[in-house]
Structure 1
Amino acid sequence: MITILETSALNTVQDLGRPGYRNLGVGTSGVMDALALQVGNILLGNQMDDACIELQTYPFVLRFETATTFTVTGIDAAIELDGRTILPWMIETAAAGQVLRVGPPKAGARGYICLAGGIEVPVVLGSRSTQLRGSFGGLDGRPLEAGDTLETIATALDVVGYGALPPAAVLDAVATAEDSKVIHLRAMPATDYALFTPEAQQRLWDTPWRITPQSNRVGYRLSGAPLELRHRVELRSYGVVAGIVQVPPAGEPIVQLADANTVGGYPRIATVIDADLWRLAQARIGTRIRLHECSFAEGVAAMQPVNAYLDRLRMMVAHYRSSAHSRAGMKSGAKA
């Protein structure tokens, strides 16, 4: 079990989400950065959809009530265990009573505290994710508060001292030296792309869009020169998934994210590919992003390096844990 000692708004329990219910008006939810959660769960030997704590605001402080192995992924931040600095993306084991503090990130936006065995909250519609707008899932369907306790399958692994290279250090990005502070994302022209003027189409790819303060887990609102339609249109509502870029009447795009509406009616100009959604999840308010046009085939192929990165990590963890167990067995035999 863990106890939350300090937290700001909007920190929640999340897993990989609850697909399969959008036809009933229930969004997917789940972590914004699915890659960071998968890395944490692989490092800990968890199931891939085991739940974690998603951090959006800082500082965040918790106390381990039982010995637990854990990792913090997603961000580069000042992280301390009982005052001792520890590294993100690394496996650590806390003793009962020790306190973990995660400070504001130096890089990235959303951190993930992953615990060996996961977090035990009720499964609602196949998921432990918090759906804030529906007030269900996670811990009573709400953000975490100081004084909350979370049940865990408390596990202290007998192997520590290994970790993962962050995805940003391994996976190639579409970037140039001239604007390295801009986050570059690949996107495919969407269903309604042809409804926009040629000038708007070009502007979509050329503009360094700024993420506005009116952004959250539902979607990122982007600020830039408006995108104009060739003529006014009325569209029927359609299904919405994370990554779709809609354009409201004002002309400034909205990128739908983890808590996206299940249906919408604004024209769809593009869709950010799955392989780059984790980059968008780690973009802070005020950050500028650039969209780069890619084809459907290129978008599908872009998942290959991501999957290869996860596969290499699985192999590394399996090898490390096997070697550690072998060494432990040899020591036990020598003592006997």
Structure 2
Amino acid sequence: MTTHLRILAAGPSSTIQDRGRVGYQRYGVSVAGAADPLLHAAANILVGNRPDAGAVEFALAGDSLTVEGGPARVAVAADVAVTVDDQPVPAWTSLRLRDGQTLRVGPLRSGMRGYWAVQGGFAIQPVLGSVATHVRSRLGGLDGGLLKAGDRLPLALDEAPDQGEATLDPSLLPARGGTLRVVLGPQQEYFTAAGLAAFLGEEFTVSHEADRMGCRLNGPAIEHARGFNITSDGIPLGAIQVPGTGQPIALMADRQTTGGYPKIACLVGPDVAALAQKRPGDRLRFRAVEAEEAQRIHARHRETLDALPGLRRSAGGFDLHDSTRLLGFNLIDGAVTGWD
């Protein structure tokens, strides 16, 4: 029997993602891929996968799943509570689950998105070289859609080997701040000096109209100088369009391939992920950098990704029922009263 993970309950926006469907945007195919490549890579590295292997991205709240078949090794990269058979286990640590055991990933305590990966990845047929899910076009993933209760995810590895587990300290990862770096253009001439000053000098708030396709921001209206329509051209990751409302829209992983609103700026790559981790109501500002600095930022980000395997540490043989481990938790639910 092929080992599967059966989804008992799915988060509101859980999908399978890898590095994305690269090379097909010219044909009208959206790239998709992980909204936060750093956390996506961390989850994969914890279970010994390639950093860009397919893993599950969830938003706001995670998934509950049961192993069917041989043992499976999983890891969760997110600030969440995790349980196995209702017993607390650590995030950022790989776990070998036996047939019939249930993993539950709770709501995110911080950030907007998290990831869980399984050793060996999923036995899912790639579409145009990628298993990334693009829901609007129904490409990739499991039938092109969001994960839902009852789905069975086939695993490429029938039985995870019995080996020591790995852990990673998330405090070693780069912090994400409230100022996002951009390179102005390619159509900054479509905006007045006052519009550019408002974009770079004022504060914006993430609106509730934010998903994997785009993130609409609320703030001061950005004034156009030459109207708000251009001949449609390509949309790079992190492009910031400004429609007639004057409110900017940052285009994210599931963005459309072309667009006809002028683009005031483009987010520097790592800061696209920083925006993807912000929740509605979060505040942010923009800071312009030159192309040369943006290239240096990209190079440092690539070095961070390449260095992730070196941050992984041995967690030893993790035993869910180890008595010392259990004594480290407060297993009483409710108020606890003590005496001096």
TM-score (ref. length: structure 2):
0.86
The answer for the alignment partner of 1:156 in structure 2 is: 160
Greater share of residues in helix: 1
Any idea what the Cα deviations from partners look like across 1:195-244, whole Å, max 9, x if unmatched?
Answer: 21111111112222111111111100000111001232541110012200
The answer for the alignment partner of 1:193 in structure 2 is: 188
The answer for the alignment partner of 1:328 in structure 2 is: none
Identify which of 206, 226, 229 aligns with 2:224.
Answer: 229
The answer for the alignment partner of 1:330 in structure 2 is: none
Residue 239 in structure 1 maps to residue 243 in structure 2: no
Q: Which runs of 5+ in 2 are unaligned?
A: 318-340
- What letter matches 1:165 in structure 2? D
Tell me, yes or no, if the aligned pair for 2:228 and 2:244 is still in contact at 8 Å: no
The answer for the alignment partner of 1:109 in structure 2 is: 112
Which moved further from structure 2: 55-64 or 204-213? 55-64
The answer for the alignment partner of 1:28 in structure 2 is: 31
Question: Residue 90 and residue 303 in structure 1: after superposition, are their counterparts in 2 closer, same or farther (change >3 A)?
Answer: farther
The answer for the alignment partner of 2:291 in structure 1 is: 296
**Cα distance between partner residues in 2 of 1:98 and 1:194:** 58
Deviation at 1:307, TM superposition (A): 2.8
- What letter matches 1:34 in structure 2? P
Tell me, yes or no, if the aligned pair for 2:228 and 2:242 is still in contact at 8 Å: no
Matches within 5 A, 1:106-255: 106-154=109-157, 155-166=159-170, 169-171=172-174, 173=176, 175=177, 183-232=178-227, 234-255=229-250
The answer for the alignment partner of 2:330 in structure 1 is: none
1:214 alignment partner, SS class: strand
Any idea what the Cα deviations from partners look like across 1:101-145, whole Å, max 9, x if unmatched?
Answer: 111111111111101001121211111111111112111111111
Residue 72 in structure 1 maps to residue 85 in structure 2: no
Tell me, yes or no, if the aligned pair for 1:11 and 1:57 is still in contact at 8 Å: no
Any idea what the Cα deviations from partners look like across 1:230-271, whole Å, max 9, x if unmatched?
Answer: 232541110012200000011000000011000001011011
Any idea what the Cα deviations from partners look like across 1:11-68, whole Å, max 9, x if unmatched?
Answer: 1111111011111111001111111111222222212331111112525211112311
Matches within 5 A, 1:9-20: 9-20=12-23
Question: Residue 62 and residue 249 in structure 1: after superposition, are their counterparts in 2 closer, same or farther (change >3 A)?
Answer: same
RMSD: 2.1
TM-score (ref. length: structure 1):
0.87
- Count of aligned residue pairs for this structure pair: 312
- What letter matches 2:116 in structure 1? I
Identify which of 250, 253, 258 aligns with 1:258.
Answer: 253
2:195 alignment partner, SS class: helix
**Cα distance between partner residues in 2 of 1:17 and 1:320:** 30
* Moved beyond 3 Å, runs of 4+: 157-161
Tell me, yes or no, if the aligned pair for 1:7 and 1:57 is still in contact at 8 Å: no
Which moved further from structure 2: 148-157 or 184-193? 148-157
Tell me, yes or no, if the aligned pair for 2:21 and 2:32 is still in contact at 8 Å: yes
- What letter matches 1:112 in structure 2? Y
Percent identity between the two aligned chains: 32
Tell me, yes or no, if the aligned pair for 2:183 and 2:265 is still in contact at 8 Å: yes
Tell me, yes or no, if the aligned pair for 1:6 and 1:62 is still in contact at 8 Å: yes
